Amino acid sequence: MNILELTGMKSTKYGGVESYFAELVKICRVDKFIFVYESMPISENYVNDINKWGGVILCKQSISTFQYFKFVIGVIKREKIDIVHFHFGSYLIAPFLRILFPRIRIISTRHSEIFVSNKLKKLYLKFCFFPFERFLCVSCGVKKEMIEGVGFSSKSEVLYLGVRKKKIVNPNLKKTLDIPKGVVVLTTIGFNIRIKGFDILVKSIQSLMDSNRLKNDIIVLVIGISENSEDSNSLRQLIAEAELNRKIMSLGIRNDINDILNISDIYLQPSRTEGLSLSIMEALNYSLPVIGTRVGGIPEIVHEGENGYLFEKENVEELADRIEILVNNREVREMMGRKSKVISSRFTLADGVEKLASIYHQTN
């Protein structure tokens, strides 16, 4: 069996999705995995792991849908592909692949919520999606949005990706980052200011500082915004305008997420939209209480009052209130952190990969 994974993405780090793919190549008994990225993944360790277990990485920018379609056709013919698995990107090519290759299995992982703004978009999505045999939704929230927006309830199911706790490489990272003892460390991870709600977080921290409501000193670590990007410049400007340069540190794209979570006390996910945050899953592994928005799959892993708090997206003051509670109450943080560890056992990388491997063999 030969499987073509159309990632539709650029890989900037050895993150949760990359770990999932690497584990899939390692344990799934197929003849060949081929991953198509828009550019060569930045992490050499990730590329080496994929190659080590027999996977192949190809690169093709999807600037032109037609050119991308021709490229995919070439790969299917050359590699005798049995399954095409879409993740992000060019769904428009799926109906034409079905016509050209009627025996090939076509499936999709829905990593994020789907928003249907009008009837025309709904018709377009129905056209793109009709060739798919299965939609693997990363959360119940994503599945619900999928069915309500486009339909295909009989083809949709939930498949949690899962994560695995990694070894600590630098136990002295707090010292490396010059974070004093006793400071409460809040961490958030994401690639985009608006989608991940970093602007909301900055305003919430500003509100807390202005009102002097925190009993303990804090530092906020923002991970994932590419250096020298527009988002990076915008984030620096937001932080400077709020006069929070000494409270919020943007550390860019990192491969030591495990070390960062290890020194953290609270994890924050103020996203405006979210399929199911692998970053939250990783935070649960490190026994962190989590504050997240009531969107997508977040309420499935953040249980109000048990392992963290939920707030309405865009609500600056509600987020500030939740942060205040956890920063000022160490016992509450620790109690919720213990519950996070229990919940994390339901979302393991091994379980997610084994279920997907089973699906591949079912569709063969």
CA distance 265 to 267: 7
Q: Please list, in sequence order, all residues whose beta carbon lies within 8 angstroms of the beta carbon of residue 11, skipping any fewer than 6 positions away.
A: 17, 18, 37, 41, 42, 43, 46
Please give the CATH architecture assigned to the domain spanning 173-344: 3-Layer(aba) Sandwich (3.40)
Angle at 333 between CA 331 and CA 338, to 5 degrees: 95
| pLDDT at 228 exceeding the cut of 80 | no
**pLDDT value of residue 227:** 79
DSSP class of residue 363 equals: T
**pLDDT value of residue 363:** 56
| pLDDT at 8 exceeding the cut of 60 | yes
Q: In this predicted model, what pLDDT tens digit does every residue of 68-96 receive, in sequence order? A: 999 999 999 999 999 999 998 789 999 99
**pLDDT value of residue 118:** 87
**pLDDT value of residue 112:** 85
pLDDT band of 259, cuts 50, 70, 90: very high
**pLDDT value of residue 89:** 78
Average pLDDT, the chain: 93
**pLDDT value of residue 235:** 87
| pLDDT at 315 exceeding the cut of 90 | yes
**pLDDT value of residue 354:** 94
pTM above 0.75, yes or no: yes
**Sequence spans of domains, the chain:** 2-164+348-362, 173-344
pLDDT band of 313, cuts 50, 70, 90: very high
* Helix ranges (DSSP H) in 28-153: 44-52, 65-79, 94-100, 119-129, 140-149
- The percent of residues in the chain predicted with pLDDT above 90, rounded, is 79
| pLDDT at 284 exceeding the cut of 90 | yes
Residue pair 7/88 in contact by the 8 Å Cβ criterion: yes
Mean pLDDT of 16-24: 93
Q: In this predicted model, what pLDDT tens digit does every residue of 105-134 receive, in sequence order? A: 999 999 987 777 788 989 999 999 999 999
Q: Do domains 2-164+348-362 and 173-344 have the same CATH topology?
A: yes
**pLDDT value of residue 58:** 96
Looking at per-residue pLDDT, the higher value among 275 and 331 belongs to 331
Phi, psi values for residue 100, rounded to 5° = -75, -35
**CATH fold of 2-164+348-362, please?**
Rossmann fold (3.40.50)
Angle at 13 between CA 339 and CA 263, to 5 degrees: 40
Q: In this predicted model, what pLDDT tens digit does every residue of 190-216 receive, in sequence order? A: 888 888 999 999 999 999 999 999 999
| pLDDT at 316 exceeding the cut of 60 | yes
| pLDDT at 364 exceeding the cut of 70 | no
